[in-house]
């Protein structure tokens, strides 16, 4: 182990020259700041190994390591997380993505020790995300009240009750991914989120097919800062939801309505109107002043929305210059809608004009 560290320090000796740690220096004397800087250069498995070298290193890493990923762990992930969570109590970001054998006890260990956690990725494949239950959500609600970003996609073992409890405690949530959590994603859960997490910016409720206009309207009213909403596969959603989002959420940039077959032209014209009417309102001015990213839709997924007409979707495309149907950018997705083949972005029109001019010139 020590040889490995010596090699690492030698490798980066140009950076750490001033510390003169090579040769006969005592390893336990490495300044904390330097140790943490070295460990920023290695993978997270090595960080965990280093935390077991001596108490000095463990204490230094406890203070200095703010981000860890356990995605590389494989079958031992739950045991490992439970055995090391106490060392990393200052953790702010933890990645447990695709840890298919992760269980509630591991999440409980994190929640018990890592109270500064602001970002947690528990996303899982739909076929294997059954191990996490509401016990995990309750633990997070009690221990990680500073959570801002939480990815629960594919966690099909969690329910509405757990999500409501989480919403009531983790009121700083800004990004929440519930894609595929069809037992948890419900109108009641969305209402709890809307009333408690008013700063929510990104919500992915894809394939939570119990969600109706009631839940989305509550989100639109209480969470005016929403910038991204994905309702793919939420087949009960109608124009009511889209109209509410268009009217209340002036910062909306990303909207996913894949396979929302009840959506009609009314939704499209409400998006067009939101662009036009907000230009004269006070809230629009506030949006422009406070948003360096600009405003207006930059991504719209209408694939499978078969009730829409080409005219209405073209009006949306014309209203938001960042929406493109061309393959290069493809930010307006209308695949699977045979009646929308006539919708084109400005690039296609420009290209058409250029080729028409070129052919006219050739004829002359």
Q: Report the interface residues with Zn ion, using CB under 5 A.
A: 324, 326, 345, 347
Q: Minimum Å distance from CB 297 to Zn ion?
A: 14
Nearer to Zn ion by C-beta: 227 or 324?
324
Q: Minimum Å distance from CB 256 to Zn ion?
A: 19
Token code pair at residue 323: 């929406």
Q: Minimum Å distance from CB 317 to Zn ion?
A: 9
- Euclidean distance between CA atoms 128 and 120, whole angstroms: 18
Nearer to Zn ion by C-beta: 23 or 327?
327
Backbone φ, ψ for residue 290 (5° rounding): -95, -15
- Euclidean distance between CA atoms 96 and 73, whole angstroms: 9
Nearer to Zn ion by C-beta: 236 or 343?
343
77-81 own/partner pairs: CB under 8 Å, 24+ apart? 77/101, 77/102, 77/106, 78/102, 78/103, 78/105, 78/106, 80/48, 81/106, 81/109, 81/110
Cβ-Cβ contacts under 8 Å for 52 (sequence gap 6 or more): 58
Q: Minimum Å distance from CB 335 to Zn ion?
A: 15
Q: Minimum Å distance from CB 296 to Zn ion?
A: 15
Nearer to Zn ion by C-beta: 250 or 344?
344
- Euclidean distance between CA atoms 313 and 271, whole angstroms: 10
Q: Minimum Å distance from CB 255 to Zn ion?
A: 18
Q: Minimum Å distance from CB 326 to Zn ion?
A: 3
Nearer to Zn ion by C-beta: 199 or 321?
321
Q: Is 279 exposed, middle or buried (0-12, 13-18, 19+ CB in 10 A)?
A: exposed
User: If we measure between CA atoms, which residue out of 51, 37, 106 comes closest to residue 73?
Assistant: 106
Nearer to Zn ion by C-beta: 251 or 324?
324
Q: Minimum Å distance from CB 265 to Zn ion?
A: 22
- Euclidean distance between CA atoms 160 and 182, whole angstroms: 9
Q: Minimum Å distance from CB 318 to Zn ion?
A: 12
Nearer to Zn ion by C-beta: 80 or 347?
347
Nearer to Zn ion by C-beta: 197 or 317?
317
User: If we measure between CA atoms, which residue out of 303, 222, 321 comes closest to residue 263?
Assistant: 303
- Euclidean distance between CA atoms 339 and 108, whole angstroms: 50
Nearer to Zn ion by C-beta: 138 or 313?
313
CA 55 centroid distance within chain: 36
Token code pair at residue 297: 């839709």
Structure-derived torsion over alpha carbons of residues 126, 129, 134, 136, reported in degrees to the nearest 10 = -130
């Amino acid at each position: 182990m020590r040889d490995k560290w010596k090699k690492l320090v030698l490798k980066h000796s140009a950076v750490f020259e001033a510390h003169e740690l090579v040769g006969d220096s005592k390893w336990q004397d490495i300044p904390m700041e330097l140790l943490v800087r070295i460990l920023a250069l290695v993978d997270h498995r090595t960080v965990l190994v280093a935390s077991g070298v001596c108490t000095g290193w463990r204490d230094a890493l406890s203070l200095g390591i703010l981000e860890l990923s356990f995605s590389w762990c494989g079958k031992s992930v739950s045991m490992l997380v439970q055995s090391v969570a106490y060392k990393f109590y200052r953790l702010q970001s933890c990645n447990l993505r695709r840890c298919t054998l992760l269980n509630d006890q591991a999440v409980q260990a994190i929640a018990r020790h890592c109270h500064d956690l602001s970002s947690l990725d528990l996303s899982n494949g739909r076929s294997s995300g059954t191990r996490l239950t509401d016990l995990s959500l309750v633990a997070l609600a009690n221990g990680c009240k500073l959570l801002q970003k939480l990815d629960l996609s594919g966690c099909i073992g969690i329910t509405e009750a757990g999500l409501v409890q989480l919403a009531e405690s983790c009121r700083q949530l800004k990004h929440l991914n519930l894609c595929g959590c069809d037992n948890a994603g419900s109108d009641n859960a969305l209402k709890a989120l809307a009333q408690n997490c008013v700063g929510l910016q990104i919500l992915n409720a894809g394939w939570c097919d119990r969600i109706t206009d009631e839940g989305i309207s509550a989100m639109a009213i209480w969470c005016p800062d929403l910038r991204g909403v994905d309702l793919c596969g939420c087949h009960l959603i109608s124009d009511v939801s889209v109209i509410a989002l268009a009217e209340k959420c002036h910062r909306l940039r990303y909207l996913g309505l894949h396979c929302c077959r009840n959506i009609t032209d009314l939704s499209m014209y409400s998006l067009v109107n939101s662009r036009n009417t907000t230009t004269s309102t006070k809230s629009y001015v506030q949006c422009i002043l406070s948003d360096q990213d600009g405003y207006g839709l930059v991504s719209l997924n209408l694939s499978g929305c078969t009730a829409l007409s080409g005219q209405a979707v073209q009006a949306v495309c014309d209203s938001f210059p960042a929406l493109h149907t061309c393959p290069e950018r493809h930010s307006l997705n209308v695949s699977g809608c045979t009646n929308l083949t006539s919708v084109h972005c400005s690039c296609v029109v420009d290209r058409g004009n250029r080729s028409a001019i070129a052919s006219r010139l050739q004829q002359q």
